[in-house]
Amino acid sequence: MRNKFDMQLDSLKEQLIHMGELCEIAITKATEAILEGKEEQAREVILADEEIDQAEKDIERLCLKLLLQQQPVAKDLRQISAALKMITDMERIGDQASDIAEILLTAKLGKAKPNEDIGVMAQATAKMVTESVQAYVDQNMMLAKKVMLADDEVDRLFEKVRQEIIDYIAKGNGEEGAEAIDQIMVTKYLERIGDHATNIAEWVEFSITGNHHGAQAIHDREKAGE
């Protein structure tokens, strides 16, 4: 029985990696579509969200089957319950990437020059998602911790872009306010994606240690020099 269980756990990890890859692609493609005005690519991202939703359902079904069949305890139980929580965050990431893509299709971003830092934020958040899932698969606490700390940079960029957009609106006497607001929404979605990746990393911490101290505790420990 244990052999079969191990195989099922391997399959769970593979499916999580696949879902993580879908999220990473969605974030990268959606942001690229916005920055370069690629409408067709934006439509692809919106369509691909269905695949992410399906991946969530498949993983959820597998986790429930494992709970029923194997009645897991200890680390097995922590890994399966962490996976169940992680996929909720990943599904939201998919939705938010799709929301970013939709902004291009519904808004007029034509005149305003997109803020370059949005691209940097997209890269950073996509990396956080990939690394948080990898940390789960490898049960790598250091990598999970790295993801939690990386969210600081995303938050810093959000504040920076926000301020730049405020200045931009002020300079144009509110002329291009609509474009500016669309840009701030894109930035906010990316900032939220960073938060979801942090949540995933926190569940990785739980699956490894049994504790769910969260990112704040990691920050406090970093500050204390531990």
Partner 1 sequence: MGKIDIKDMDLFYGSFQALKNVNLEIEANKITAFIGPSGCGKSTLLKSLNRMNDLVEGCRIQGKILLDGQDIYAKSTDVNTLRKRVGMVFQKPNPFPMSIYDNIAYGPRTHGIHSKSKLDDIVEKSLRNAAIWDEVKDRLKKSALGMSGGQQQRLCIARALAVEPEVLLMDEPTSALDPISTSKIEDLAADLKKDYTIVMVTHNMQQAVRISDNTAFFLLGEMIEYNNTEKLFSIPSDKRTEDYITGRFG
DSSP 8-state class, residue 213:
-
Interactions with partner 1, residue window 148-187 (CB under 8 A)? none
Q: How far is the CB of 143 from partner 1 (least distance, A)?
A: 21
From the list 65-73, 108-116, 120-128, 133-141, the region that binds partner 1 by CB under 8 A is 65-73
71 lies in the binding site for partner 1 (CB under 8 A) = yes
Amino acid sitting at position 189: Y
The pairs formed by 171-179 with CB atoms below 8 angstroms and a separation of 24 or more are 176/111, 176/112, 178/107, 178/108, 179/107, 179/108, 179/109, 179/110, 179/111, 179/112
Residue in 210, 213, 216, 220 binding partner 1, rule: CB under 8 A: 210
Q: Does 142 bind partner 1 (CB under 8 A)?
A: no
| Min dist. Cβ of residue 2 to partner 1 (A) | 5
What minimum distance in Å lies between the beta carbon of 77 and partner 1? 7
Stretch that binds partner 1, among 76-84, 123-131, 175-183, 187-195 (CB under 8 A): 76-84
| Position 68 contacts partner 1 (CB under 8 A) | no
Q: For the window 1-30, what string marks contact with partner 1 as x by the rule CB under 8 A?
A: xx--x-------------------------
Give the closest residue to 198 by CA, choosing from 81, 92, 116. 92
Of positions 56, 76, 95, 99, contacts partner 1 by CB under 8 A? 76
Type of residue numbered 184: I
| Dihedrals phi, psi of 218, to nearest 5 degrees | -60, -45
Tell me the closest approach of the beta carbon of residue 153 to partner 1, in angstroms.
Answer: 32
Q: Token digits for 158?
A: 């959000």
Q: Does 106 bind partner 1 (CB under 8 A)?
A: no
Calculate the CA 181 to chain-centre distance.
Answer: 22
Distance from C-alpha of 154 to C-alpha of 49, rounded to nearest angstrom: 23
Query: Measured between alpha carbons, how far is 194 from 189 in angstroms, rounded to an integer?
Result: 9
User: Which residues would be at the binding site for partner 1 (CB under 8 A)?
Assistant: 1-2, 5, 71-78, 209-210
